[in-house]
Each structure stands twice: as structure tokens, then as C-alpha cells.
Amino acid sequence: MRPAAPRRWDEIELGDIATEADVPLAKLRGLFPSKLAMLGGLTRIVDDAVLAGRSDDLAAEPVRERMFDLVMRRLDALAPYKAGLRKIAPVIRRDPLAMAALNRGAVNSWRYMLASAGIATEDALGGLRVQGAVLLMARVSEVWLDDDEPELSRTMARLDRELKTAGAIMARVEDVHRLTAPLRGLARALCSGKRPRVRRRERSDEGLRREGEDFAPAI
């Protein structure tokens, strides 16, 4: 990340990185097949730092408080690389393929981040929560990269707004998901070729039998 601070990301060659890291180019190739893979390696370093510092102190707090703490701890772990990321981010944003590749890595990363905060990721809405967290982090990071105040007041204000918006959206989504549960069950039954079960009152044949008459139940 050191060469990224004074130079544009697309001007840095693989040989420059190998020289800076003091490793042969062949060894660098064995570690990382591309510069994007190196950013993925940075993501794993940050993941490890955040997961190692997790605490159960906030386990009983609302989801919003847990997310606030999680994002701020992640930004703290990214702080040593801020100068380089400030130069890298604008180049990456102009490359849709790079953005898609990094998003896949970010989804994997945030699945573990949310799990560390006790937030469900494997239920029916888990994928939406994970992708929402990725987008939230991206929007907050835009402010964080230009926020040089020690207190990060602008960053925290942006994070607070994004969490309010995300909370309102997820509340509506969860309401719709709950209200449409019967329809989803009916759709699954129809798609499987099974008729929905209808409960009917069972009646005794003996109660319908009249003296002197034969009784045949209707088909």
C-alpha cells in the first residue's frame, strides 16, 4: 500500500510492488495473482483485526448500536492504509469489473462481520442484510476517506444517517416478508404439484344412518 499513497493506482506496476515489498516477482505471483487480489488480502487483514477485537459487551444492545460499533472498528483497522486507499478508490469506482469483483469479496467479509455482531445472515433475509451492510460501508467510507478530523465527526454523522435509513428499509422489508408468508407457502405448494390441504369436519357414518335405510357416503 505504500506506493499507492503518492501515485495513481493504475500507474503502479507489479514490479514496483515487488520491489517495495522486497520479494521476487515470482514469489509475489505465488501470493497474489493481481493487484485486486492484493486488495482482497488487505480485506482479510482487516477482517482478522475486527474479529480478534470483538466483544460481547454490546450483545444486548440494539442492532443499530452493534452496527455502529462494528463499522467504526473496521474503519480503525483501515486507518493505517487510508492514504493509499484515498488514491485507489477513485480508480476502482471507474472500473465496473473491479467493483463487481471487490463486491464479492466484501459480501464474504461482511457475512462474518455481521455474524460477529450476532446479526443473522443465513435466514431468508440474510443475503439482503449482508449486501446492505456492504453498501452502507461503501457510502460511509466515501466520507471517511476525506475526513481528517481526529474525532471523525463527519464520518460518524454519515454513519448515523445511513443506519437510520437502513433500519427503516429493513423494517419495511421484514413486514412485507412476514405478511406474504402465506402466499409463499401457497406458491410452493402449487409449484410442487400438491393440492393445499383443507381441513374438513369429520362426521360419523353412524350418525347419518337411518333405521331401515342403507347409507352410502357421497364421493
DSSP letter for each residue of 118-157: T---SSTTHHHHHHHHHHHHHHHHHHHTT---TT-HHHHH
Q: pLDDT grade, residue 204 (50/70/90)?
A: very low
Average pLDDT, the chain: 87
Nearest CA-CA partner of 1 in 28, 38, 43, 46: 38
**3-state DSSP helix/strand/coil % of the chain, to nearest 5:** 70, 0, 30
Residue 125 DSSP label: T
Asked if 88 and 39 count as a contact pair (C-beta separation under 8 A), the reply is: yes
Q: How many residues does the structure list for the chain? A: 219
Grid cell 433475509 — which residue? Answer: 125
pTM above 0.85, yes or no: no
Nearest CA-CA partner of 132 in 178, 86, 171: 171
Residues 28-43 pLDDT 10s: 999 999 999 999 999 9
CA distance 163 to 65: 9
pLDDT at 173: 93
Q: Could you tell me what percent of the chain has a pLDDT over 90?
A: 75
Q: Does residue 216 surpass a pLDDT of 80?
A: no
Give all domains of the chain, ordered by start, each with its CATH number: 2-171 (1.10.357.10)
Residues 98-122 pLDDT 10s: 999 999 999 999 999 999 999 999 9
